[in-house]
A and B are shown apart, each in its own frame.
Chain A
Amino acid sequence: MKQVLLSLLLLGCAPQRLPVAISQLPLTPSLAHGEVLYMTFCHQCHPSGAAGLGPSLNDKPLPAFAIWFQVRQGLGAMPAFAPQTISDPDLDTLIEYVQWLHTIARQEGR
């Protein structure tokens, strides 16, 4: 509950952009797989986690269940990604990667 409220409070506090040097940061195997998933399903509308066709993700540190809900339901103009497209385990990995982007963006904003 505290995490939910804190996330809501932090909405919009982190910058949109990631540092250019993010490409040089080492990735765990899980994050590397998450990056591949992100590039396949998310990057074209949320380039590098920033706004483009879709809104920015980097400045919205939503809890995992909210990201899960949005990906599966595809609210607004966003398409829905069913389990046949992104499996449950892959979605967990993707969410881990998106939340890692939040961490990097927040560090960039300090």
Chain B
Amino acid sequence: MRRLVPILLLVVLGGLLFALQSCFTIAPSRGGGQTTFSGSRFLDPADIALPPGYRIEAIAQNLTFPVAVAFDQAGVPHVLEAGYSYGEVRTQPRLLRINPDGSTRLVAQGDNPPWNGVTFYQGNFFVAEGGTFEGGRILRISPDGNITALLSGLPSFGDHHTNGPVIGPDGWLYFGQGTATNSAVVGEDNADFGWLSRRPQFHDIPCRDVTLLGRNFESANPLTPDPADRVSTGAYSSFGRPSVPGQVVKGQLPCNGAVMRIRPEGSGLELVGWGFRNPFGLAFDPQGQLYVSDNAYDERGSRPVFGTGDVLWKVEPGSWYGWPDFHADRPLSNTNFFQGLNQPAPGLLLQTHPGAPPKPAALLGVHSSSNGFDFSRSSAFGLAGQAFVAQFGDMAPGVGKVLAPVGFKVVRVDPASGAVYDFAVNKGLEYGPASRLRSGGLERPTDARFDPSSQALYVVDFGVVTVGENPQPRQQTGVLWRINRENATTGLGALR
């Protein structure tokens, strides 16, 4: 028997070794959207788990692609409907007032979606118009619906768009501009996103001059009918245009992968920080420090990058945050971390780097799509100083394989320690959206915002988006939720 023990251990470890090496490769992707959905969505707050002492209720439903919430001077919530969803589904972007009974009143609508974010300041709403079709803009919308473009021509035609905005303690308006591509190289994946055929010359624009290593990436050409047609594309270059070693790409403003700011009347465009990938959520903590939620790389396209969790950054003006050559503070030349199985190594693109990216405030789930967030400011709600982040959830398998759904919840982040805890999450044996779990809980949270009283956390839920060959969003499945302490009283009624 004693002789058998080491043999048994060797067999077990050998089996484990084989299983682990095989597991990720052969296991199918089980993303949260890889499910079926038909009919209408039912809601049951009892299907959502929260920490003891908190409750959640639905305030409004049947919204179409809602992405953000803001409050007017009376504290009335206003929801922003994007007017666009991945899957290239286009509707009308709208700003809606939420009435006490959950009905809506149209405040304004636009024609250049997506509308990605909204804030209220000094009597007006300010909207980040993602502008995938006509270019990004920052809009001012008066309470009676008059729209004024404060800033136009933002490079927003690609994968990621104009985001935010948020008003800083200095009175400036801060916003994010996402990148055109996954990792700075235009490829076939951008045709899948829908924009490559519309804007074949579009590419990422750096905020400062960058010098390239001259690496080029070969791909098929989806813009021509010949399946054998191949092109070579360099970094920060239009599709099919190679680069050369030492090539300098001039920095411009506005640019991609950046946080910028303007005065509320629209003047004085300035760069705050760059080297982000998709700085979707922006918020100031109670001490006036800016934080950004940054959607990290996908495993797709000509330069796929494996294993990068979304990042919560503490933003220091003038800093560079690593895209396209770093994830958090690790260079992509580290194949141990960033080369997927059976995938090419991403490697580096830049000859020199504008700086050393700082350590992140927190690392969130890979493919979690950590989006809008806010900080608790009061003891009435509790957990003052903690960030509450809405996680839209994975879009696997298009962004890369996952073994189980990632996101589809609201998490609490301690910005000091980087600890991440579930805060509002669907009950069940597994994680995932309500459509997958066949429950009445959360689908895809996309914004989390405290009301002006700081007593209630509003969660904007985009609704059902399943993922087959392409994303399949469902109109009129969006919801506005509200989270309070259990003994709190509020003016707005819950849905019955």
Contact = CB atoms under 8 A, between A and B. Distances in A.
Interface of A: 1, 4, 8, 15-24, 35-36, 39-40, 43-45, 47-48, 50-56, 66, 69-70, 74-80
B52 A21 contact: yes
Interface string B392-403: 000000001111
A75 B365 contact: no
Interface string B301-317: 00000111110000000
Nearest to A47: B365
Given A39-B362, A43-B309, A55-B23, A23 B406 contact: no
Contacts of A36: 417-419
B223 interface: no
A109 to B, nearest CB: 10
Nearest to B403: A51
Interface of B: 5, 9, 12-13, 16-17, 20-25, 49-52, 306-310, 336-337, 340-341, 362-368, 400-406, 412, 417-423, 425, 429-431
Contacts, number: 119
Nearest to B17: A75
Contact of A23 (B51, B309, B431): B51
A20 B425 contact: yes
A74 B421 CA distance: 26
B423 A48 contact: no
Contacts of B419: 35-36, 39
23 contacts: A4-B9, A16-B404, A16-B429, A16-B431, A20-B51, A24-B51, A36-B419, A39-B417, A43-B309, A43-B364, A44-B310, A44-B364, A45-B307, A48-B421, A50-B430, A51-B403, A51-B404, A52-B403, A53-B406, A54-B403, A75-B16, A76-B341, A77-B25
A39 B431 CA distance: 19
A76 B431 CA distance: 23
Contact of B431 (A1, A21, A50, A78): A50
A15 to B, nearest CB: 6
Nearest to A55: B403
Contacts of A18: 422
Contacts of A56: 404
A36 to B, nearest CB: 6
A1 B4 CA distance: 12
B421 A52 contact: no
A95 B17 CA distance: 19
B337 A79 contact: yes
Contact of B420 (A21, A24, A48): A48
Contact of B368 (A4, A15, A20, A47): A47
B51 A76 contact: no
A17 B431 contact: yes
Contact of A40 (B306, B363, B406, B412): B363
A39 B363 contact: yes
Given A22-B421, A47-B368, A76-B23, A53 B307 contact: yes
Nearest to A8: B12
B399 to A, nearest CB: 11
B364 to A, nearest CB: 7
Nearest to A32: B417
Contacts of A78: 20
Contact of B366 (A15, A21, A52): A52
A13 B404 CA distance: 18
The interface centre, meaning the residue of A8, A36, A70, A75 with most chain B CB atoms within 10 A of its CB, is A75
The 9 closest A-B pairs by CB, nearest first: A44-B309, A51-B404, A76-B20, A23-B421, A77-B24, A75-B20, A47-B365, A53-B366, A52-B406
B404 A39 contact: no
Given A24-B51, A50-B430, A52-B368, 17 more contacts: A16-B430, A17-B431, A20-B421, A21-B51, A23-B421, A39-B363, A44-B307, A44-B310, A45-B307, A45-B366, A53-B402, A70-B20, A76-B23, A77-B23, A77-B307, A78-B20, A79-B336
Nearest to A41: B363
A77 B422 contact: no
B422 A20 contact: yes
Contacts of A24: 51-52
Contact of B418 (A4, A22, A39, A51): A39
Contacts of A76: 20-24, 341
A60 to B, nearest CB: 11
Contacts of B16: 66, 75
A54 B401 CA distance: 10
Contacts of A21: 51-52
Nearest to A15: B429
A92 to B, nearest CB: 20
Contacts of A79: 307, 336-337
B355 to A, nearest CB: 21
A36 B420 CA distance: 10
B23 A20 contact: no
Contact of A17 (B5, B24, B309, B429): B429
Given A15-B429, A20-B51, A21-B52, A47 B420 contact: yes
A35 B51 CA distance: 19
B367 A53 contact: yes
A24 B421 CA distance: 10
A91 B479 CA distance: 43
Contacts of B22: 76
